[in-house]
Chain A
Amino acid sequence: MRDVAVLSFAETPGGIRDADETEMLFEVIGAAIADSGLTRRQIGFTVSGSCDFVVGRPFSFVTALDAAGAWPPIAESHVEMDGAWALHEAWVHLQTGEVDAALIYAFGRSSLGPLRDVLTLQLDPYLVAPLRPDALAVARLQARALIDAGRAGEADFPGDDEPLAEDGAAAMVIAAGELAARGRAWIRGIDHRIEAQSLGARDLTRSPSTKQAAARAGAFARPVDHAELHTPFRHQGIILREALGLETAHTAAAPIMVAGLARVGHAARAILDGRAGRALAHATSGPCLQQNLVCVLEAA
């Protein structure tokens, strides 16, 4: 595999923003490209992650393209997923050797709607979603399973574990070959795996897809000294640390569609700042950690 470096990462500050997607993206895309030391014309591929249902309208990625500088026309793609999966697509594109640098961006504005009800629409549309279990109810099934398995106590659940309403955007520039000459944070492995969704068919207290993705990304070859986990609900940190063999980790829940890409960005920053030599980043999607991505980064 070709060595790929994370050259730069930018994100909006947390909280609710009085700005639309394109405005938020102007900030972070501009900052990420400036920090990368590359020009827009050196970026051969652009890919983004977002979800229409979060914003409550179709084609929400279309106006976001205005912030990407798509003129003259660009080679571009979009995944209806967290930006971490957009990063994976960009990494694959760089592996073909046809392009040497890529821009990845993601955005989500969960303040626009009731996220805990919106997420219900990810469930089986014929048999489960019509019963309207909200995201908190689904997450608590997992929390209850953890308590029943003796791996957590009632005290681990303070009861205010709502999915966070937060607006945000993030952007990253990655590169390979000569354009990565200044690279100091290198992607050593990246992989993602999914499980069947049915909540009744899974052991909700374990995350085999995280373990699988981590093994394929080479995470278990040597210990990491910095870990960033995407935990939409706090108790999921217990499950993920067990799957990854971690004692401690930094965690973040939001913004939706951005948090996963931001975990990779924070892991890269830990390396760029000299706080870590080897770091792991994790992203998740779907109810009860259904789909997981693991990225391992190293200095030089």
Chain B
Amino acid sequence: MRPVAIAGIGQTRHAAKREDVSMPGLVREAALRALEDAGLDWDDIDAVVLGKAPDTFEGVMMPELYLADALGAAGKPILRVHTAGSVGGSTAVVAAQLVRAGVHDRVLTVAFEKQSESEAMWALSPRYPFLPPLLAGAGGYFAPLVRAYMQRSGAPDDVGLRVAVKDRRHALRNPYAHLRLPDITVEQVRASPMLWDPIRYLETCPSSDGACAMVLAAEPRGAPAWIHGAATRSEPAIFAGRDAVDPRAGRDCAAEVYRQAGIADPARELDVAEIYVPFSWFEPMWLENLGLAPTGEGWRPVLDGATELGGALPVNPSGGVLSSNPIGASGMLRFAEAAMQVRGQAGEHQVDGARRAMGHAYGGASQFFAMWIVGSDRP
């Protein structure tokens, strides 16, 4: 199978309300930047793969139909992926398959969310027969998982506060980031309102309008990032004995991308990781799930400062989901930021000499996972 490169990357400025652009304007802003970065034009693109989270977030049913025009897709194939919160990542994986399989040579992949068009809190609180309700948004579902992790690991209770501060400080180095909290402190996070115990307001991601785009290609110009491994894994939301704190689908997905990339010791071999952390405690939880820290000890590198820029394994130097959260695009932003790092184009949040990076996204009831490993070397 032929190698696939990330030839171009673009993202929008992320904000609570991008009232200066329509939905077509938003996706086009990211797509044009990706095309420019790749040195390509609309005519060079063979197919478009669009991802976003539930259509109820904007109130447009299957918006790829309406957006086909804005994305230059007329006369081309366009595919629309939806795998809950992991969608930004899984969309990139689907787009990469099209190139890898030799079906297309250059694919534009785009993910977006324009949360200001409606109220995601409502859309994230569905009532399903025979299932517990999500309880006022995603935080209501994930708070008990965080509580379980705290109990299991015996982690000190300021771990989440420190992640919240670290990612917001990282965001100050990222010109596209939504939240800018220059004076944020651990005490300020601790004093912020408790939303879903134990998750506080400042330990929570914002609601953002934003988009991300990448051009994936078989024969890129310039210095691209190369995909060294890409995979998705899913498991059911609820069944007896399921470990939702440390889900097997996440462990299996990580094992598969490490296998593809030939990585034996990920904590040592990866230079940087962009991990989907919508609530601060998910950083230590995912470090364990991804095999980047021993089980029960994911909180140690957080307290040691190892996950800060300049640390042994910087996590979310872009500021992460905690600083910008256009939900459908949040996963693709992780994938794109990982690629920016190995291309050396991350500006002030660049990890010096990064050659291998992970992009990670998850969704649903911690049950859908998408990951990729990218590197500066052609595999």
* Chain A residues engaging chain B, CB cutoff 8 angstroms: 1, 20, 46, 51-53, 57-59, 61-63, 65-66, 70-81, 85, 88-89, 92-93, 95-98, 118-119, 121-126, 129, 191-198, 208-209, 212, 285-287, 290-291
Contacts and interface: CB of A to CB of B under 8 A. Distances in A.
A77 B369 CA distance: 10
A73 B1 contact: no
Given A121-B61, A212-B75, A285-B62, A198 B101 contact: no
A286 B231 contact: no
Interface stretch (B122-130, B191-199, B300-308, B316-324): B122-130
B233 to A, nearest CB: 4
Interface in B80-103: 80-84, 90, 93-94, 97-98, 100-103
Given A62-B364, A72-B252, A92-B103, A125 B66 contact: yes
A76 B79 contact: no
Interface of B: 1, 22-23, 53-66, 68-69, 73-84, 90, 93-94, 97-98, 100-103, 117, 123-124, 126, 128-129, 131, 231-237, 239, 247-249, 252-253, 364-365, 367-368
Contacts, number: 176
A123 B23 CA distance: 13
A57 B126 contact: yes
A177 B1 CA distance: 16
Shortest 9 CB-CB distances between A and B: which pairs?
A58-B54, A95-B101, A73-B249, A76-B234, A121-B61, A196-B69, A53-B61, A80-B82, A286-B65
A98 B236 contact: no
Contacts of B232: 75-77
Given A96-B100, A122-B65, A285-B62, A75 B54 contact: no
Contacts of A81: 62, 79-80
A130 to B, nearest CB: 11
Contacts of B76: 193-194
B83 A193 contact: no
16 contacts: A51-B61, A62-B365, A63-B237, A65-B236, A70-B235, A71-B235, A72-B252, A73-B252, A75-B234, A76-B233, A77-B94, A92-B97, A92-B101, A125-B58, A126-B22, A212-B75
A237 to B, nearest CB: 21
A227 to B, nearest CB: 21
Given A52-B56, A63-B128, A191 B77 contact: yes
Contacts of A196: 68-69, 74
A46 B90 CA distance: 13
B46 to A, nearest CB: 11
A71 B252 CA distance: 11
A125 B82 CA distance: 20
Contact of B83 (A53, A77, A119, A121): A77
A121 B54 contact: no
A208 B75 CA distance: 8
A89 B80 CA distance: 10
A53 B1 contact: no
Given A62-B364, A88-B79, A96-B97, A71 B123 contact: no
B83 A195 contact: no
A85 B232 CA distance: 18
B234 A194 contact: no
Contacts of A80: 55, 62, 64, 80-82
B59 A121 contact: yes
Nearest to A88: B79
A95 B102 contact: yes
Contacts of B117: 125
B62 A72 contact: no
Given A119-B61, A192-B77, 16 more contacts: A1-B102, A46-B234, A62-B367, A63-B128, A63-B237, A66-B237, A71-B239, A73-B233, A75-B231, A78-B81, A78-B82, A93-B97, A125-B117, A193-B76, A196-B74, A285-B65
Given A95-B102, A193-B77, A198 B61 contact: no
Contacts of B128: 57, 63
A198 B57 CA distance: 23
Contacts of A20: 129
Contact of A59 (B65, B68, B84, B129): B84
A59 B252 CA distance: 23
A129 B54 CA distance: 18
A209 B253 CA distance: 37
B124 A58 contact: yes
A89 B69 CA distance: 22
Contacts of B231: 75
Contacts of A93: 97, 101
A58 B77 contact: no
Nearest to B57: A58
Contact of A198 (B23, B69, B83, B129): B69
Contacts of A209: 75
Contacts of A71: 235-236, 239
A96 B102 CA distance: 8
Contact of B103 (A75, A95, A125, A197): A95
B81 A125 contact: no
B100 A52 contact: no
B65 A194 contact: yes
A129 B55 CA distance: 15
A83 B202 CA distance: 41
Contacts of B53: 58
B55 A59 contact: no
Nearest to A74: B234
A195 B131 contact: no
